[in-house]
Amino acid sequence: MKNLFKLLDLTKEEIIDILDLAEQLKYERKHNISHKVLDGQKIGMIFEKASTRTRVSFEVGITELGATALFLSSADLQIGRGEPIQDTARVLGRYLDGIMIRTFKQETVEKLADFAAIPVINGLTDFSHPCQILADLMTVREYKTSFDGLKLAYVGDGNNICNSLVVGALKVGMQVSVAIPTGYEPDERVLEFAKQYDCFEMTTKPEIAVKNADVIVTDVWTSMGQEAETKAREQAFKGYCLTTELLEAANKDYMVLHCLPAHREEEISTQVFEDNAKYIFEEAENRLHAQKAVMVKLFKK
């Protein structure tokens, strides 16, 4: 593993290795055991979109691994004024040991890595959010102890979260069912991958997806960059809301995950959100541990 672009690039074993290391790092942090294995390194964090969790968890993680984090917002960088990513990459590659980037196009992440010649981590694109899904898988395993025999359901937009979730959950061996309105399906590359699995199902009906599910996931109807479509999306996603009534069809000890930020009474009811807050905020914490594991794997010299 040289970079983290998307979960499609990882084997099941690589995913499990990251989760195992993340668990170990979580244990060490809890017991004040220092793990400054990236001592002295300089890691850049490029943001072309807003962020709370990704920004803070990466910066804290980098610091805890003994490295220095540089927050690089596109509002301040020359990329915000049109400097090509190829040039930015060739400059940053000479200063830094690694880069995390949150951007729009998946190709930007891969181009950055090509030209910078240092490891690059995808901190969210329009296509994928691998760091989030590693944290989600870590949270599922933490509460359910294993992935064996679990059914995961996703209700909502076939967006970056859905794309990465379908791939990650299928790779680790879960049954996956997604409920998505027509016209908002996951990316073609993801559907092509999912087609190989008999245990993958896509429907337009949330009640079918959540039936007997152990893990239920949703995300916002309108992602960053799609704000102009908000009204049309509110129409299209009516009924794609995790409510207590809908979840009656799920398995008794189900858990709900949400990457956050959440829009209450849109994709999730306030009741369901609060009933599942312990899982959702553990999931947010696990971003830190999962990303530290990825950074150790990619940046440790």
Binding piece for ligand CP, criterion CB under 6 A, among 34-42, 52-60, 163-171, 225-233: 52-60
As beta bridge partners, residue 151 has 175
Within residues 65-124, the interface with ligand NVA by CB under 6 A covers 124
Q: Contact between 220 and ligand NVA (CB under 6 A)?
A: yes
Burial 58-84 (b: 16+ CB within 10 A, else e): bbbbbebbebebeebbbeebebeeeee
Q: Contact between 54 and ligand CP (CB under 6 A)?
A: yes
Collapsed DSSP state (helix, strand, coil) of residue 288: helix
Q: Angle formed by the axes of helices 130-144 and 160-172, to 10°?
A: 50
Q: Contact between 281 and ligand CP (CB under 6 A)?
A: no
- Half-sphere exposure in the Cβ direction for 163 (13 Å, CA): 23
Report in angstroms how near the CB of residue 50 gets to ligand CP at its nearest.
6
Report in angstroms how near the CB of residue 159 gets to ligand NVA at its nearest.
5
Within residues 145-174, the interface with ligand NVA by CB under 6 A covers 159-161
- Nearer Cβ to ligand NVA, position 122 or 159? 159
Residues 221, 190: contact at Cβ < 8 Å? no
Q: Contact between 134 and ligand NVA (CB under 6 A)?
A: no
Collapsed DSSP state (helix, strand, coil) of residue 98: strand
Residue in the block written with tokens 């499609």 = 8
Pick the binder of ligand NVA from 21, 70, 199, 224 (CB under 6 A). 224
Active-site annotation, residues: 102, 129, 132, 219, 259, 287
Mark residues 111-130: x for contact with ligand CP by CB under 6 A, - for none.
Answer: -------------x------
* Separation CA 216–CA 213 (nearest Å): 7
* Separation CA 130–CA 135 (nearest Å): 9
Select the residue whose beta carbon is closest to ligand NVA and give its number: 223
Q: How many residues bind ligand NVA (CB under 6 A)?
A: 9
